[in-house]
Structure formats: C-alpha cells, structure tokens
Amino acid sequence: MPWIRHRLTLPAFRRGFHIITRQVVDALPELSTIQIGTLHVFIQHTSASLSINENADPDVPVDLESSFNAIAPEDFPYQHTCEGPDDMPAHVKASLLGNSLTIPVERGRLLLGTWQGIYLCEHRNHGGSRSLILTLHGE
C-alpha cells in the first residue's frame, strides 16, 4: 500500500490536555484497510505538543496541566518574552513532551493500550487552531 498522508486541522482548544484520539481516527478513512503498519502523528507548532496518556479518568488531564505549570511556570525569568508570559513556558513544555507520536496499527485499529489516548497538549492561553500531519503506512 502507498503512504497515506492527511492534514488534520483541530479547532482552538483552551489551555490544557485534550484527548483527540477520535478526531485522529476519523481523519483516516484508510485506517480500516491496514492489516499491519504504523501511524505517525506530527504537530506543526512549537507551543503545543502531543502525548499518549490515560484516557479514562478526567483528573489525569487536570493533574498533567498542574504538573507542567509547576515545571515551567510563567513567572520564571525567561529571556524570550515578546509573545506574552505564556509563550516561553509553552515552548519548554512542548520540548519536554515532543512534537510527534508513532503508533502501531493492526487489523484497522490503533494499537493503543486499554487506558491510552492521544492528547493534544495546548500550552498557550489562546493558541488557535492546530495542524497535525498524519502519515499512515502499512499493508
């Protein structure tokens, strides 16, 4: 099967951790034809990131946001401040979490664990829409 690539544009989300597994799957109609392969998900932004984490307990995204705010607080004496107080902490958080995920695919499904989901991690107060590049390959 040839490589398949789609761009998924997500609407603006409030600052925090947001499960986007359903949006990713819905953007890949070809997923159901893949018996074995991989999905690569890449975010084209430096102030938001991607993560795989627990998708069942609503306290998890709240605790993740609180933890990352403690790791990269807005009141730290950053040099890069021209884009507002939430910008440089957003870059730090995005660097820690990363800009891409690779997920195995089998029999038309993402092989995420029972309690795993794909998160968009929005680190800005007003980040705007976010673009993801979804690259699927398999047979």
CATH number reported for the structural domain that contains residue 37 in this entry: 2.60.120.460
What total number of domains does the chain contain?
Answer: 1
Contacts of 101 (CB under 8 A, 6+ apart): 40, 41, 50, 51, 52, 118
60 is in which domain, residue-wise? Answer: 4-138
pLDDT at position 27? 98
Q: Give, for all 139 residues of the chain, the pLDDT tens digit.
A: 789 999 999 999 999 999 999 999 999 999 999 999 999 999 999 999 999 999 999 999 999 999 999 999 999 999 999 999 999 999 999 999 999 999 999 999 999 999 999 999 999 999 999 999 999 999 9
- CA-to-CA distance for 22 and 118, rounded, in angstroms? 9
pLDDT value at residue 56? 96
